[in-house]
Amino acid sequence: MLEWSKPERWANPSAKHHSGKLAAKAIEQARIDVAQLIDASSEEEIVFCSGATEALNLGLQGLVRLLHASETSTLVAGFPDEHPAVGQCLVALKKQAYLQTNIEIQPQISDSNPIKLPENDPRLLVLCRMYAQNETGKIYDLLEVRRKNLRNGDWLFSDLSQAVGKIPVSVQQLDIQMGGFSGHKFGGPAGTGVLYLSRKKTRLNLQPITFGGGQEHEFRPGSLNLPGIVGLGVAAKIAKRELNIWQSTVLKIRETFETRIHELVPEVKIISENEQRLPNTSMIILPPEAADKMKQKLPGLCVTQGSACASASGKSSHVLAALGITKQGISNAYRFSFGRTNTQSEVLECLNMAFG
Ligand code: PLP
């Protein structure tokens, strides 16, 4: 990234001069590395964006506009624990009355009453189901989602933000038609992201939501973020190469954390404890006294209450609410996320200081 930020090296990758061509080559290498990380069938399926929020909005809004323009009768549905980048996008689309002529949007379908259209229903179903939950770490079985909810030809739209770089992701095996994720979740720079578009389905002819130059097939116009995209590509390469070691390292740290916190705070509840979960995530609900003690003893501890995005808007966790957790439980819920630079002894020291 530093190299491509130097004034003598930086060039607009769209420029046809020598420096521009070198920059374009670096972008195309990053596109290949990102495609390989998620097992896309071609690097042409990768659209570079500024983050998952933009990618997911671009995909969903572009798709809905295309389906509206082509008068395809469609049902677009999402689950209540989707990140606002999907959930709020669906809510906003639902308010756009002009779409309602042929598109029905259900932003909050329930897990207990999953949607499946009858075989002879002419509507296309676009189902939004994230791969891994950002607050609880729960991993959804997307193959099962397809088997249970989707007919041949229906679409699976998946927010891959928490999964990429943390668990193996093969968009082909999972049969995902569209997905989005951010670079900073797996070691890349913040402000970079990817929209994945399966070419088998979309042929990149979605409708743009911003208009400008011809970049990214005119679908995401604007000068490309050269150093950022190079960083994203390198992070993708490293994430692919080191996935196993990353997983086993953070899992051991999490196991140490969870074993010890059960000893120190027997009333602790770990969300999705016995479910398929991301190896680095532990969302815990503490009894109020233990939560107060932790805050007093460790004012500098970097844990979050719900997602960073929810904290930014001051809203309490819609994810925990959807799991039926009480308001008091939600106010004492903390998400611990572990990284490769954390150590077992650091985690034990932290717990002993907070609760010992
Ligand atoms: N989706 C999920 C599951 C996330 O966890 C996040 C960010 O935390 C996003 C989408 C949005 O990502 P960004 O803020 O990079 O746009």
Q: Does ligand 1 lie within 6 Å of residue 192's CB atom?
A: no
Q: How confident is the model at residue 155, as a pLDDT?
A: 96
C-alpha of residue 182 to centroid of ligand 1, in Å: 7
Distance (Å, rounded) from C-alpha 100 to C-alpha 96? Answer: 7
Two tokens, residue 229? 């995209």
Strand pairing partners for 193? 49, 182
C-alpha of residue 241 to centroid of ligand 1, in Å: 23
Q: Does ligand 1 lie within 6 Å of residue 191's CB atom?
A: no
CA distances to 23, 39, 89, 90, 104 from 96, rounded to whole Å, are: 40, 35, 11, 10, 11
Our answer to whether residue 309 is catalytic in this structure is yes
Q: How confident is the model at residue 21 (pLDDT cuts 50, 70, 90)?
A: very high
Which residue puts its alpha carbon closest to atom 5 of ligand 1?
A: 134
Q: What is the pLDDT of residues 73-109, one digit of tens each?
A: 999 999 999 999 999 999 999 999 888 899 999 999 9
Q: Does ligand 1 lie within 6 Å of residue 81's CB atom?
A: no
Q: How confident is the model at residue 340 (pLDDT cuts 50, 70, 90)?
A: confident
Q: What is the pLDDT of residues 29-63, one digit of tens each?
A: 999 999 999 999 999 999 999 999 999 999 999 99
C-alpha of residue 47 to centroid of ligand 1, in Å: 17
Among 159, 130, 171, which residue's Cα sits nearest to residue 36?
171
Q: Does ligand 1 lie within 6 Å of residue 52's CB atom?
A: yes
Strand pairing report for 155-159 and 178-182 = parallel
Q: Give the ligand 1 atom nearest the CA of 54.
A: 16
Q: What is the pLDDT of residues 267-284, one digit of tens each?
A: 999 999 999 999 999 999
Q: How confident is the model at residue 146 (pLDDT cuts 50, 70, 90)?
A: very high
Q: Which residues contact 316 (CB under 8 A, 6 or more apart)?
A: 306, 310, 327, 330, 331
Q: What is the residue type of 67?
A: L
Q: What is the residue type of 301?
A: L
Do residues 297 and 286 lie in contact, with contact meaning Cβ atoms separated by under 8 Å? no
Do residues 160 and 179 lie in contact, with contact meaning Cβ atoms separated by under 8 Å? yes
Torsion sign (Cα): 98, 179, 77, 137: negative
Among 114, 75, 121, which residue's Cα sits nearest to residue 94?
75
Q: What would the mean pLDDT of 277-303 be, rounded to a whole number?
A: 93
Which residue puts its alpha carbon closest to atom 9 of ligand 1?
A: 52
C-alpha of residue 132 to centroid of ligand 1, in Å: 11
